[in-house]
Amino acid sequence: MALDDDVEAIHDAFAQTTMLMTRYLFDRAQLSPTASAVLYRLHAEGPVRLTVLAALVDISQPSMTQLVQRLERRGLVERSVDPADRRAALVTITDGGRELVLEQENAVRARLRDAVEGLSVQERDGLRLAAHVVLPIVTGLVDAEACR
């Protein structure tokens, strides 16, 4: 199979999987996908400069500023002055934001459990194996791309 055919097949599989999993597993009633991505990043990585956060989730700095303001009003994040550069703002997840992230993770796990429960043992084994194989490969691709 040619490289372009491989890329096309991988693209199609990832795009369809992402769309289906996002549509089925994630509850967008409480937060937009971008707001969820911001909270998940802050939960996993700790305080981040607003400009860095915008780059991490691939939105403009003005859009990130508006999003952070909305999340602040909801008590999910807070901003503080960056001690390394008093002109910059650090964004930090609050306890309320952490609780929401954990609630969402639990809800996703519950929906996934309900979906996987209907699979045969062989299908579950195949899905688990695929996850174990795909994650290190995709992580390596992303890491290599980040180094470019």
Is residue 137 a part of any domain in this protein?
no
- For residue 148, the SS3 value is coil
Is residue 46 a part of any domain in this protein?
yes
pLDDT in tens, 79-97: 998 888 888 889 999 999 9
pLDDT in tens, 11-33: 888 888 888 887 777 776 678 88
- Count the domains in the chain: 1
Which domain does 33 fall in, by range?
A: 14-117
- For residue 41, the SS3 value is helix
Task: Record the pTM.
Answer: 0.77
Backbone angles phi, psi at 60, to 5 degrees: -70, 160
| 77 CB burial (10 A radius; 0-12, 13-18, 19+) | buried
Residue 42, CB-side half-sphere exposure with 13 Å CA sphere = 31
Backbone angles phi, psi at 6, to 5 degrees: -60, -45
